[in-house]
Amino acid sequence: MKKITYVSVLLIVMSCAFNKKNNVSKEKLNPNPDFKNLPLVSEIYTADPSAHIFNGKIYIYPSHDIDVAEPDTDDCGSQYSMRDYIVLSMDYIGGPVTTHEVALDIDDVPWAKRQFWAPDAAEKDGKFYLYFPTKDKNDVFKIGVAVSDKPEGPFESTKNPIEGSYSMDPSVFKDDDGSYYMYLGGIWGGQLQRWDENGNYTEMGCETQDNGIPNSPAISPRIAKMSDDMISFAEELKPIRIVDNSGNPILTKDYDRRFFEAAWIHKHNGTYYLSYSTGNTHYIVYATGDNPYGPFVYQGILNEPVQGWTNHHSTVKIDGKWYLFYHDVEMSGQSNLRNVKYTEFTHNEDGTINPVKTYFGNDFKF
């Protein structure tokens, strides 16, 4: 049983208040959710947590959700209209959480128009790099980068997006040899379907959500090695193949397994684990490979659906244990007002991951 604390009571009261105005969510929320974990912070809404150990502390780079008037009438993600980033930190796992000052505001990004979506961060030679997706003046998602001497910021944005970048949900993985790789992409509102695998762009509306061919291989997330300067790519973005255990590509129509958004890499016992969200089936699943570029072989579920439409995560090893950082909508009951949480997860001896379920009781229905 989780402890009933002052914070829990406050959350229940807030949750009731927000549920009353829950007229923009599409999902049917579980009427009696029994969550296993508490939100990390309750003073702001946070989502899409990218967790790292920097300078011996745990830093979490989340999206900062805000309540906006935009209705959820399409699948473009217009209700996710965030405009700044705020970093969280803990000195140790389970310790008090610090909510830092604003790390980056959209007004300080010269090329940005709207929507600060899921960010990530990396450290190199004592400098910290915040990678973030936002729409440019033409409403096209690109990836920006901002630099700081401190992990919590404030960060200073470069003048332009990373050349050759597109779509959203960047995550940056540091390999054991000191190389850094960016993974990115997301379909539907994330616009990856507008870009072919050679980086050619076709303008299209939100009604075109994938490649439109159910039996064709699903749209792939992309990878590029970072240059030494950490603010540019050392190569063009390349697609990452995700295949089943017979080596056949996961198909567009395979909604339980195909890539949607939120690509993240961790390395365990020499194996590369690519985990990602399946979007409209709400899983975080994972596939494994023997190098950063793949191909990656689909293995199974890492995180069962959470309450709320989106499911977005990161993984980090702390003191020899693996933790999953994720979000749900316990505080608001509203899909675009999320709260970040974490829980431990484990790998089996054969390398598979024990799927995480972050609530007690029946599965959520969508």
285 CB-side CA count, 13 A = 24
CB atoms under 10 Å from CB of 48, counted, come to 28
Q: Which is nearer to ligand FUB, 146 or 297 (CB)?
A: 146
Q: Which residue among 118, 143, 172, 353 contacts ligand FUB (CB under 6 A)?
A: 118
Q: Which residue among 145, 168, 187, 224 contacts ligand FUB (CB under 6 A)?
A: 168
Query: Could you tell me the two tokens for 189?
Result: 């509102």
Q: Which residue among 130, 219, 262, 287 contacts ligand FUB (CB under 6 A)?
A: 262
- 79 sits near ligand FUB (criterion: CB under 6 A): no
- 334 sits near ligand FUB (criterion: CB under 6 A): no
Q: Which residue among 261, 297, 340, 364 contacts ligand FUB (CB under 6 A)?
A: 261
- 210 sits near ligand FUB (criterion: CB under 6 A): no
- 312 sits near ligand FUB (criterion: CB under 6 A): yes
Query: Could you tell me the two tokens for 205?
Result: 């509306």
Q: Which residue among 59, 61, 80, 326 contacts ligand FUB (CB under 6 A)?
A: 80
Between residue 182 and residue 201, which ones bind ligand FUB under the rule CB under 6 A? 186
**From the CB of 311, what's the least distance to ligand FUB, in Å?**
7
**From the CB of 82, what's the least distance to ligand FUB, in Å?**
7
**From the CB of 310, what's the least distance to ligand FUB, in Å?**
4
Q: Which is nearer to ligand FUB, 77 or 297 (CB)?
A: 77
Counting residues that bind ligand FUB (by CB under 6 A) gives: 13
Q: Which residue among 117, 286, 296, 359 contacts ligand FUB (CB under 6 A)?
A: 117
Q: Which residue among 48, 120, 254, 330 contacts ligand FUB (CB under 6 A)?
A: 48
Q: Which residue among 72, 123, 152, 169 contacts ligand FUB (CB under 6 A)?
A: 169
Q: Which is nearer to ligand FUB, 33 or 119 (CB)?
A: 119
Q: Which is nearer to ligand FUB, 168 or 237 (CB)?
A: 168
Active site residues: 48, 261
Query: Could you tell me the two tokens for 266?
Result: 């961790």
Give residues in contact with ligand FUB (CB under 6 A).
Answer: 47-48, 63, 80, 117-118, 168-169, 186, 261-262, 310, 312
